Amino acid sequence: MTQNLQIHLASRPSGEPGAANFRLVEATVPELGEGQVLVRHHFLSLDPYMRGRMNDAKSYAQPQPLDQVMGGGTVGEVVASNHPGFAAGDKVVGMGGWQQYSVVDARQPGVLRKVDTTQVPLSAYLGAVGMPGVTAWYGLVKIIGPKAGQTVVVSAASGAVGSAVGQLAKARGARAVGIAGGADKCAYVVDELGFDACIDYKSHRDLKSLSQALKEACPNGIDGHFENVGGVILDAVMLRSNAFCRVAMCGMISGYNGEPIPMAAPQLILVNRMTVEGFIVSEHMEVWPQALAELGQGVATGKLKYRETIAQGLESAPEAFIGLLKGRNFGKQLVKLI
């Protein structure tokens, strides 16, 4: 029987998660039933949203159950199949979770999707051509909808989502301004990704300083903002918003461990006639084909750039995830499983 290492949620964190919240479990791969497909995972995706699921709180998703495999996106290769739509050797993307193998009932529509790796690397289907890319696309195109010449700001700009937001904004003729943590990330955002400017929030910790930096980076004000972080970053952006500024609220990682992150001046929503809209990309499946077409084309032609931080081996996943929440990754955080 094939061994299948798994990582389970052992306990719920209060505040920052630690290694003790996770448990490495040695399981085995079961026999395949009717319609089932066995997938060997090549890469596991680590994403900030997973922190929210570790809580036992009301949210848009069911909490991650205790003592079960941590959920998460995976790409890999079909090893065996009892479903006519899949054959050994097929490259697939799915939600296999934090484990080496998954058994998928391929009769359920959408749970497993074959991907073409001739022009797009397999790992990119977890990033720029996957959920993070579509997240960027939806927030930018459907909520912000920038016009040429407008200014779009994005926080966590070097990350899997933020890096795509700015590049998609540039492709639409907008000015793209990133916010990221550290000089290296900011240099990458401007020099490699082609943003017009990037602000290092580690050099601008308070509202006044960050607001001043935004004023310099956005001389014509801010027309659209893609929020991944929240807290003082959102407050500073609101101070520089133009009339009718649209904010796509995608994540608020600054509060994921339970820190209070009040919005200092919500009256600016009124004064600036802003629209602030929260969204979850999995609720907008209708846009995925269009978004993936643009994103895949971008990666295939080299126009849409991305960066990956790759941890090696399933055992490294908890530490890599903890680092992700602290911004230690650079670009898309993956775990390589083979």
Q: Which residues bind a copy of itself (CB under 8 A)?
A: 58-60, 230, 234, 243, 249-252, 255, 260-267, 269-280, 283
Cβ nearer to a copy of itself, comparing 182 with 255? 255
* CB closer to a copy of itself out of 31 and 259: 259
Amino acid in position 109: P
Cβ proximity to a copy of itself, 60 vs 338, nearer residue:
60
In the complex, minimum distance from the CB of residue 281 to a copy of itself, in angstroms, rounded to a whole number? 11
Q: How many CB atoms lie within 10 A of CB 55?
A: 16
H-helix or E-strand spanning residue 95: none
Q: How far is the CB of 112 from a copy of itself (least distance, A)?
A: 27
> Which of 238/317 has CB closer to a copy of itself?
238
Q: CB of 292: closest distance to a copy of itself in angstroms?
A: 22
Interatomic CA distance for residues 191 and 194, integer angstroms: 6
SS3 of 53-109: HCCCCCCCCCCCCCCCECCCCEEEEEEEECCCCCCCCCEEEECCCCECEEEEECCCC
Residue 55 or 82: the one with the smaller Cβ distance to a copy of itself is 55
Q: How far is the CB of 81 from a copy of itself (least distance, A)?
A: 36
With vertex at residue 252, the alpha carbon angle to CA 190 and CA 274, rounded to the nearest 5 degrees, is 80
Q: Which one, 148 or 270, has the nearer CB to a copy of itself?
A: 270
Q: How far is CA 170 from the centre of its chain?
A: 20
Compare residues 13 and 278 and give the one whose CB is closer to a copy of itself.
Answer: 278
Report which of 281, 210, 270, 280 is spatially closest to residue 240, judged by C-alpha positions. Answer: 210
- For residue 94, list its beta bridge partners: 74, 112
199, 155 in Cβ contact below 8 A? no
CB of 247 vs a copy of itself, minimal distance in Å: 9
Provide long-range contacts, Cβ within 8 A and 24+ apart, for 52-57: 52/256, 54/9, 54/12, 54/13, 54/17, 54/21, 55/12, 56/12
What is the nearest approach in angstroms of a copy of itself to the Cβ of residue 78?
34
Give the shortest CB-64-to-a copy of itself separation in angstroms.
16
Q: What is the smallest separation between the CB atom of 255 and a copy of itself, expressed in angstroms?
A: 5
* Token pair in block for residue 94: 């799915």
Q: Token pair 């937001």 is at which residue? A: 165
The nearer residue to a copy of itself, 171 or 264, going by C-beta atoms, is 264
Give me 90's structure tokens: 């097929």
